[in-house]
Structures are given as C-alpha cells and as structure tokens.
Structure 1
Amino acid sequence: MASRLQQVEGDKSVVLRVTHSNIKTFASDVRFSLQMSVESVKDKLWRKCGTSVESMRLELYDDTNSKVSDLTDNSRPLGFYSPLDGYRLHVIDLDPSSVTSGGWLEDTSLVEKYTISEEEYSKRDGTFRKFKEKMQSQNSSALENKISNNYMEDLCANIKVGDRCEVDPGAKRGVVKFVGRAESLAPGFWVGIQYDEPLGKHDGIVKGIRYFQCPPLRGAMVRPDKVKVGDYPERDLFEEDEI
C-alpha cells in the first residue's frame, strides 16, 4: 500500500497497457496523469481508438491480468483507482454501430477497392508511369555522367548496418540494412533502410537485385544525406506529450 501511495503522490503519472474490445491488434503503452479524471482518460482514448466517450467502459487489470476495478465514475481522478505502471486499461465499446465494430479498422479486405489490370494501365496515356519513364529515359544518361562512383561516400563514414536511424523527409524511423553502391541505381553510395512501419516501396529488392531482406513495403534505398543515425527508438503508436 505504501508503494502505491508513493506512486500516486510522487510520480504523478502512470504508464498503462491499453487494449480494446473490438480491435484485437490495438495494444500500446500510454502514459496518463494520475490527476486526470476518468472522463479525460476516455476523451484521450477516444481520439486514439475511435470509441466515443459515451460508449466507452474502462476496466483496470493488474500485471497478473486480474481485474482490479471498473472505472465507473467519470468524475473521479484516475489515481483513485490506484493504477500502477504495467497495469492494463481495457477499453470496451458498447456501441454496436461503432466504427470499431465489425473489424473494419483491422481487415482491409472488407473495404471494396478499385482495381485496374496491369495491361489496361500500361495502355493509358498521361499516367505517372508514362511520365516517369519519359523523364528517366531523357535524364538517366546525363545524370550518370555528372555523378561519380564515390558520390556521397564520405557521408557513409558513420553509417553502418544495424544502426537505428531517422530518414528525411518525414522523419521516418528504421534500421540500416545496407550501405554501399547499388548497381541497379544511379552511381554513388546508397543506404538501404528497413522502416518500422510500412512506409517503403519494396522488401529489399530493387530493379531485380536484392540488397537486403525486410518485410514487404518496409524497404527503401536513399542517399546518405537523408539519413541520421542515433538513438531513434520505435515510436509508440500513441506517442504524445505528457499531460
């Protein structure tokens, strides 16, 4: 009891594992102020998971997955229920017509998509693919004549495979998987990145050549000047400033 009171009075905040009744893949560590009202906690979670405050019921579980309490009083501070770091806050969506119901936020196969065959797309004029092919044919030879094989080699001095990194534009985070020249790309040095999220274009294969292994749509080849290595941990899905 003493340690619990010390956390409420001293730390002023707690990190809870958040889960959701309808979104099975929804799970993340989120920091909450112990002074927040239960209603404020619900409002914070509504902006993250889509369940409205009015339709949300919260349950608190300890680190052995035993239920501690139902957070039924919206006016009470979160600290009243004595949560500790590592406890789990479970969101129950009571609205049967909620955006979170039916698996829509998890199973993209439920969404009807417009498709076009590769053959039909290739026949179309004015597409981005046609524009890109035209520009590449016009500029590739001229570009290669201007770029040396050692282009940006000096920027690779402090970049090595396994480094955590952040890539511009967009401050995308990931890990370095390749450093060197890429024969299927323009001359000079390249850095292969495996992004933490599906923000890439491939799985490490570029124009038929494999430079590294990674999951589909996580891979990218970028110039070294776009890469900053350092202590860049994976972002929390619900990362935001402390309240």
Structure 2
Amino acid sequence: MSSTVHVFVISPDTRSERRFDLHLTIEQLKNKLELFTGIPVQNQNILLLNNEKDTEPVTTLNEDSRPIGYYGVQDWQVLKVIDTNPATSLTGQLHDTSGVEKFELSEEAYAQRHDTVLAYKQRNKIGRFAEKDAEPEKPVPAINLPVGSRCEVETSEEGFHKRGTVRFVGPTQFGNGEGTWVGIEYDEPMGKNDGSVQGVQYFSCKPNFGVFVRPDRVQIGDFPVEEIDFDDEEM
C-alpha cells in the first residue's frame, strides 16, 4: 500500500496538484501549505472534499497531532484551505483594498507627469503627437498573452522550464520604454523581483517570484504547477 497520496490543493488564490506522505501530521502539512498558498499556519482551516464542486466537506483536518492518513485522505481528493483571517495573510493584503484611499488625478496634473502613457506617446511622437510629415505608423503585431493565463518561459537550459502566470502585459519605464514586456509571477522563487522595477510597481507578488521578459519567450498553454517533492527537504 502506497504511503503517499496525490491531492488537489485549492485556496482563495491558488490551485495546484501535490503529493504528501500519509504519515505527515496536520501541523506539518500546514507548514507546507503556507509556502504555496500564502496563508499563515494559524489562519488555516483545511477541509477535505471529494471534488472541487462539493459544498459539504467529507471532514475537517483539525487535529494538528494527527497524521493525514488518520482522516482517510485518498488520491485525487481535494484539500480546501480556508483563510480564517485574510487581513493578516499576504494574499489577503494584496486583494483587500477597503483600507486604501482612492487616488484621483486631475487632467492637468496627469498631463504634467512623466511616467504616464501620455508622456510616453509625447516622447516617442506616437498617435496625435506624431510629426505630420512622418511616415505612417507601422501596425503593432497583436500579442495574445491574456493576463491571468498559465504560461511557460523559455530558458537557455535544455529541459528546464519555468512556469507561472501572466500578471502584466504592456510598455514599461525600464528598457528605454521600448516595446512590450510581459510580467510573470513564477510558481517558485526563481524570479528577480516582486513585480516592481526601479520603484515602479507593475503587479504584485512575493519577492523573487516576479520577472519581466519579452513576449517571444512566453508560451501560453495548459501548464499546471509542477509537483514539488518535499521529501528531499526533510532529513
């Protein structure tokens, strides 16, 4: 009989396929879940479902000292992680805007800024700012990289793939403001930033999970989160 179980783990902001040892205690499980759900251990309420559409849980994994196997967890069932206090969680802080003061900018103030799309068009003589005798603008190829799409980023190392989610597509202030950049939130900390570059925040993610690449290095598709074998981390 196998001592491990394959399950789907879902939370308010994540969905992944994972493998756990049935002898792992619920307390140890929560420590692992915090790494990829962003929900602190003390805020986790773990429900066991037969599938993601179930409204009634099979049971609740609520005794920290019990092993996973005690609850009869089976392959391809679902562990639904409820955040009991989103205000103190990383994901909750990123999505809760109730305490953020609304920022409004007048047209005059907007026109005076140097970090806007308007300023970018003025500097590069694009659209209505183009010189009258200038050649017509060349059409910009359409980039079909929807924000929120799963993707894989090309690397120079053969057989090594970096997977993540598209979080930003558009012009930036870095790179001389030329061309389109794609902001990726990697599944693992293999990036270079937290979604910001040179003090400008283009999207938000945990440190070292964010990266910006050119569109031709990004492939959109059904790329699930690659399984992490935690066994090698425990001695």
User: TM-score, normalization: structure 1?
Assistant: 0.48
Choose between structure 1 and 2: higher helix proportion: 1
